[in-house]
Structure 1
Amino acid sequence: MNKIVQSHGIPFTYHWVSTFGTDSLDFIDEASGYIIFGSDSNVSDRLPWQIDLSKRMKAKIEAGIPVLGICFGHQLMADAYGATIDLVKPDNRCFEGTRKQKVLTDHLGFKTNEELEIFITHHYEVKNLPQEFIHLSTSSDCFYDGLAHKTKPFFSFQGHPEASRHFVENHIESKLPEEQVLSGLSGGNRVISNFIELVRLTSV
């Protein structure tokens, strides 16, 4: 969150819905766009705040308001549109570090064959493509690494494009080479910049 504000200089509000619920979303003016971040919980938990957030964000998407899903947010919205979410590996292996992925189609500012390296830390993944979605990007470790809605201003990634150096130091156990960190920061900035441009274009 701090990285986004510092890098792009645009106003954000942060709502810690997993702790305080979604009511705070009712007390702000309509936002130009929404980002659903990661969570320590799983979509399969079906917690009240998850169910409410899913309904709220799907309504925003259907209304044409840009939404970006990150990690849990990627899974939450895929689930909302009918996808199955499950462990990447039966042994509950945690995938962490960075991961290179290839963009599969020209869509929402991304270009076919464009490569992105993004920070990752997750156990779960999207297992199938929702009917109204496009398979945006893929990698050797995660087939549905990136998704997008066919006609609405929504895209999502399993990785953490918002990740800062603080995130890397506190959420990724292995020590990453500086070159890998810089590549992860660059790939993440590409994703966030694309979303901000989508919000700008949609708001015009």
Structure 2
Amino acid sequence: MSRIFLLKTGSSFPGTVRQWGDFESWTIKGLDLSADEVQVLDLPNGDPLPEVEACRGVVVTGSHAMVTDRLPWSMALEAWVPALIEAGIPFLGICYGHQLLAQAQGGTVGFHPGGKEIGTVDIHLLPVSSTDPLFCGLPSPFSAHTTHSQSVLSLPPDAIRLASNSFEPNHAFRIGPCAWGIQFHPEYDTKIMESYVMEQAKELEESRRDIQEVLRTIRDTPVAAAILRRFAFIASKGSV
């Protein structure tokens, strides 16, 4: 029997985890699925990848690792992804997962020349999103939480770019009928976003960022959150 798999690619800051939980708990809550409807596999800690045939849908979480580190577990995941896409199984890559999807399909990932994007930002949908199964009908712009230093610098040749903003041209894209990468974090709520800003306060100060200004950007992101529920619906069917 096929299942929805949540592939965990790292953990949040220890202080954030103690107070608010970790990537898998936020994502399962956002998918609006019960814990027994999703199988979590912790890739950095040695869990094996599932057989493609066992997957009804796959979500790859964010991580504090970098895709360009090419860690062994990450390279194994990158090599596994194309078969999943070829099989037409719904895939959603969030932040790290977004970048890994791009790299797996021939795109380029690296540090953003503008530095870190962090806080709640506006995401603008491109016209093609109006026919996309995951993004169709959503308002533009919508608010989303972000924290990333690396980005998809160039999309894979067969990617359809779906969303951008003035900082990040590749905030969302699709490969084939049902494999999506999103740079922003639909699983974050305002408390998690605030925690991420405070955990990175020293780094932000050293780069001359105004922490209070970043904190002032933080607001609810109901449209971004709805994307997870939409993906869960698509994955529950096993296709678009």
Q: What's the counterpart of residue 196 of structure 2?
A: 171
Is residue 2:107 matched to residue 1:69?
no
Is residue 2:219 matched to residue 1:181?
yes
**CA contact under 8 A between 2:88 and 2:239: conserved in structure 1?**
no
Alpha-carbon distance between aligned partners in 2 of 1:154 and 1:140, rounded to the nearest angstrom: 24
**CA contact under 8 A between 2:193 and 2:218: conserved in structure 1?**
no
Unaligned runs of 5+ in 1: none
Residue among 192, 199, 204 paired with 2:235: 199
Q: What's the counterpart of residue 94 of structure 1?
A: 116
Give the Å deviation of 1:67: 0.6
**CA contact under 8 A between 1:75 and 1:85: conserved in structure 2?**
yes
Between the two proteins, the alignment pairs up a number of residues equal to 196
Which digits, 9 at most, give the CA deviation of each residue in 1:46-88, with x for residues without a partner?
Answer: 1110110112222212111111010010000101111111111
Is residue 2:177 matched to residue 1:152?
yes
Query: How do residues 1-204 of structure 1 correspond to structure 2 at under 5 angstroms?
Result: 1-7=24-30, 8-10=32-34, 11-18=37-44, 20-23=45-48, 25-26=49-50, 30-89=54-113, 93-104=115-126, 105=128, 106=130, 107-111=132-136, 114-149=140-175, 151-173=176-198, 174=211, 176-177=215-216, 180-182=218-220, 184=221, 186-202=222-238
Label 1:29 to 1:58 Cα distance change in 2 as closer, same or farther (>3 A): closer
Which digits, 9 at most, give the CA deviation of each residue in 1:107-156, with x for residues without a partner?
Answer: 1231376322111010011111211110010100100111111x331111
Aligned to 2:73, the other structure's residue is in SS state helix
Identity of aligned residues (%): 27
Alpha-carbon distance between aligned partners in 1 of 2:140 and 2:183, rounded to the nearest angstrom: 17
**CA contact under 8 A between 2:171 and 2:183: conserved in structure 1?**
yes
Label 1:132 to 1:13 Cα distance change in 2 as closer, same or farther (>3 A): same
Alpha-carbon distance between aligned partners in 1 of 2:68 and 2:152, rounded to the nearest angstrom: 12
Give the Å deviation of 1:39: 1.3
Alpha-carbon distance between aligned partners in 2 of 1:187 and 1:60, rounded to the nearest angstrom: 27
Alpha-carbon distance between aligned partners in 2 of 1:3 and 1:39, rounded to the nearest angstrom: 13
Corresponding letter in the other structure for 1:198:
I
Corresponding letter in the other structure for 1:147:
F
Unaligned runs of 5+ in 2: 1-23, 199-210
Give the Å deviation of 1:203: 5.3
Structure 1 length normalisation: TM-score?
0.84
Label 1:187 to 1:22 Cα distance change in 2 as closer, same or farther (>3 A): same
Structure 2 length normalisation: TM-score?
0.73
Label 1:71 to 1:109 Cα distance change in 2 as closer, same or farther (>3 A): closer
Label 1:181 to 1:203 Cα distance change in 2 as closer, same or farther (>3 A): same
Give the Å deviation of 1:166: 4.7
**CA contact under 8 A between 2:134 and 2:227: conserved in structure 1?**
no
